[in-house]
Each structure stands twice: as C-alpha cells, then as structure tokens.
Amino acid sequence: MDIPADYEERYFNLNGIFYRPDFWLPKQNCWVEVKGLSPTKHEREKARRLAAHTERVVHIFYGPIPEPNPEDETWYSGSAVVFFPDGTGDEAYWWCECPVCGTLGLEFEARATNLSCGCLARMSSRLDRSNYYYSPRLLQAYSYAREADYIAASDGFDRLISSEL
C-alpha cells in the first residue's frame, strides 16, 4: 500500500517487560503488531503498556488475512484489537481508505469518516456513513498478502518435509 513503516527498530522496557513491536507507521502515528492467532493475555498486556508508555495507539492484527466482499458484508469480522494510551482498548479495527483523497488509516469498522483527512466528516451524504475497507487499493493489498502468506507457508512446509527426508 506504499505506507512508510519502520520494522522492529525499537526496543522498550515496559516496567520489566521487554518489547519490540513489529511496525511503527509514522503517517498513521501508531504501532502495529501482527500475530497469527488471537493475541494472548501477555501479548495484549504488552500492547497496552506500549500504548501508555509511548502515548500512541497500538493495533494487534491477528487471524486469517481478510477477504473483503463488497457484495456480501456478512464476511465482516474484526481482525484487529487496539489499545489506547489511556489504558482502554477496543476491537473491530480495519484498514480503510478515503474515497476522496486516498488517505489510509485504521478505524473502527473501517469508518472512513474518522480518518485524519476529515474529507468525509465534512460531507452530508451517504458517503459519510460508509465503511471503506474494500477500495481497489486495499483489495489488491489483501490479495498480495494472502498470496505471500500462502507462499511463505508452503515454503516452510517444503523445508520441513525436505529436512525430514
């Protein structure tokens, strides 16, 4: 998605818990952690502490890579939990894109009206209530991620099998 990101560049001592978050996204002003399964209680606690320590939001993405279907919104489920600097948290955060200016962000239920650009917040139309998790740019990114995940998984499986032979 051409989002500037720093990968595992900082370590933090969070009152005795050492933590190296996966990504810092400067344009979104947040941390992102990626997990395969639902985050454990310990992983959630680290994220909560990081949010308080850095005074920045922390998102933990987990589960399968989504396959958004604009024709059938019953597929929708939250795949990111978020922790705020004040110690609170929430679920069901998704990538979304402003259809006016292209700003990308992570918002509750992909509600683009909450994006920092403010484009949709100023509009009074059906656009201001829409969820923009299915823009062509995001659909392509999810497709690439699923393909890379499949290749990585099959490559790891092939190496495991060949090492056993």
93 located within any domain: yes
pTM (two decimals): 0.81
Q: How far apart are CA 91 and CA 21, in angstroms?
A: 19
- How, if at all, do strands 93-97 and 30-34 pair? unpaired
99 located within any domain: yes
1 located within any domain: no
- The model's pLDDT over 25-41, given as tens digits with 9 standing for 90+, comes to 999 999 999 988 889 99
Task: Please give the residue range of the domain that contains residue 144.
Answer: 6-164
Domain count, the chain: 1
Structure tokens at 146: 């699923």
- The model's pLDDT over 89-109, given as tens digits with 9 standing for 90+, comes to 998 888 889 988 999 999 988
159 located within any domain: yes
